[in-house]
Amino acid sequence: MKIGVLALQGDFIEHINILERLKVKAISVRRLDELKDLDGLIFPGGESTAIASLMHSFNFFKSFKELVQTGLPIMGTCAGMVLMAKKITHSNIPPLGFMDMEVKRNAFGRQVASFETELIIPTLGEKPFPAVFIRAPLILDTGPEVEILASLDSGTIVAARQGTKLAIAFHPELGSDLRLHRYFLEIVATHKLIGQGSIQTGANKTNCKVPISVD
């Protein structure tokens, strides 16, 4: 399994560190040729305006949209989630439109308003997930094919999935809980098996548990 992490700006190294802990081959993606033969791709947190500008400068937009047509599994965290949306409220950032959702940038305020909380994410089990929100976005609305994975007590949506795409408003890469990355890798593994004709399953469900070891 080979996972790329977009490394134009943001906390990409933290994602790579977690993938390496899970014994998965991870590469920093800074050039178009580094998108070749990926099994999955992660858009990290950072500054969404800066990342979008750099993606344009390096001509990534067209290639990303072509990869989406193949069903490539993609996970976006914080700024990465913003870029994956179909619509970004009150923003001039051009969205990639990977998921049928509308998001709002910096929805919780400035850096000083950052916070941590424990989220119940049923697909990960009963144990709460420690979520770190830093100038985080939120999901305002979703289309019928989007599965809501987690919400705050207020009802604010902070994690969702559509097929092989996973959007997370917070920073799972900044903590020690590996379950969300493991969940993404299960999506990747299932997609690979479907592509190989090994299994037949619905696009919105993960029925494959991959044996990922942790050091």
Question: What pLDDT score was predicted for residue 12?
Answer: 96
* Structural domains in the chain (count): 1
pLDDT at 37: 92
Q: For residue 111, is pLDDT > 50?
A: yes
For residue 197, the model assigns a pLDDT of 65
pLDDT one-digit tens code per residue, 150-160: 999 999 999 99
Specify the pLDDT at position 108.
74
Phi, psi of 192 (to 5 degrees): -65, -45
Residue 203 forms part of a structural domain: no
| Mean pLDDT across 111-133 | 90
Of 204 and 178, which is predicted with more confidence?
A: 178
**pLDDT of 68 above 90:** no
201 within domain boundaries: no
Choose the catalytic residue: 15, 78, 186, 191: 78
CA dihedral sign of residues 169, 174, 175, 179: positive
User: Does residue 46 sit within a domain?
Assistant: yes
* pTM of the complete model: 0.89
pLDDT at residue 211 in the model: 45
Q: Is the pLDDT of residue 112 over 70?
A: no
Q: What are the φ/ψ torsions at residue 187 (nearest 5 degrees)?
A: -60, -45
150: burial class by Cβ within 10 Å (0-12, 13-18, 19+)? Answer: buried
Q: In the numeric block, which tokens belong to residue 182? A: 């493991």
**CA 110 to CA 154: how far, in whole Å?**
19
Identify whether 173 is a catalytic site residue: yes
Mean pLDDT of the chain: 89
* Residue 78 annotated in active site: yes
- The DSSP code sequence of 22-35 is TT-EEEEE-SGGGG
CB of 71 closer than 8 Å to CB of 38: no
Of 14, 15, 173, 208, which one is the catalytic site residue?
173
Is 80 a member of any domain?
A: yes
pLDDT value at position 176? Answer: 92
- In a domain? residue 213: no
179-195 and 12-21 helices cross at what angle (nearest 10)? 70
> Phi/psi of residue 27, each to 5°?
-130, 145
Q: Domain of 107?
A: 2-195
pLDDT at 206 over 70: no
Q: In which band, very low, low, confident or very high, does the pLDDT at 91 lie, cut at 50, 70 and 90?
A: confident
Is 183 among the domain residues?
A: yes
**What phi and psi, each to the nearest 5 degrees, are found at residue 156?**
-65, 125
Strand partners, 151: 157
How far apart CA 160 and CA 134 sit, in angstroms, is: 18
Query: Is 83 part of any domain?
Result: yes
- As a whole number of angstroms, the distance between CA 2 and CA 13 comes to 16
In a domain, 215, yes or no: no
Q: Say which CATH number the domain at 31 has.
A: 3.40.50.880
Q: What is the pLDDT of residue 109?
A: 65
User: 90 falls in which pLDDT band (50, 70, 90)?
Assistant: confident
Confidence tier at 199 by pLDDT (50, 70, 90): low
Which one is catalytic: 171, 181, 191, 208? Answer: 171
Is residue 5 over pLDDT 50? Answer: yes
198 pLDDT band, cuts 50/70/90, is: low
Output the CA torsion 34→40→42→48 (10° steps).
70
